[in-house]
Amino acid sequence: MDTAINGQRSVGAAAVRPRDGAPPRSGFPDVSSSDRVSTRKNADWAEIRIQDTGGGIAENIKDRIFDPFFTTKEVGKGTGQGLAIAHDVIVNKHHGTITVDSHPPIGTTFIIRFPLEVACVDAAA
């Protein structure tokens, strides 16, 4: 979960610039953003929601945030691996899902879901 939260903060750091020319709202020291983490059982899934009140993720990059090496940070400030690794572990290792719901400039919610039961695959089959 730490990787997902760090990735969320990284994307938010440069993802949204207000149209009025004001400084960006998220990811900078002079702007506060609060995070909220909640969990619940949703049918056959365990669900984790990570929500922030930062600047949100711009629509033009939202489809790329899980891509390896994608970053909105300056050169040398980030590797673009955080959300790519989180996606790989959640989806490929744990058979879960990770989705993003972002509403600039209000904030972003990452929804992570893990199945409560995973069918065992017979290696001999």
pTM for the whole thing?
0.70
Structural domain range at position 67: 2-115
Tokens of 31: 């702007």
Within-domain flag for 123: no
Read off the CATH number of the domain in which 81 is found.
3.30.565.10
The pLDDT profile of the chain, 125 residues, written as one tens digit per residue, is 555 555 555 545 444 444 444 444 444 344 457 899 999 999 999 999 999 998 899 999 999 999 999 988 888 888 889 999 999 999 999 999 999 999 998 999 999 999 999 777 655 55
- Structurally, how many domains does the chain consist of? 1
- Distances in Å between the Cα of 31 and the Cα atoms of 13, 28, 39, 69 are 11, 6, 27, 26
Tokens of 71: 């970053």
Within-domain flag for 53: yes
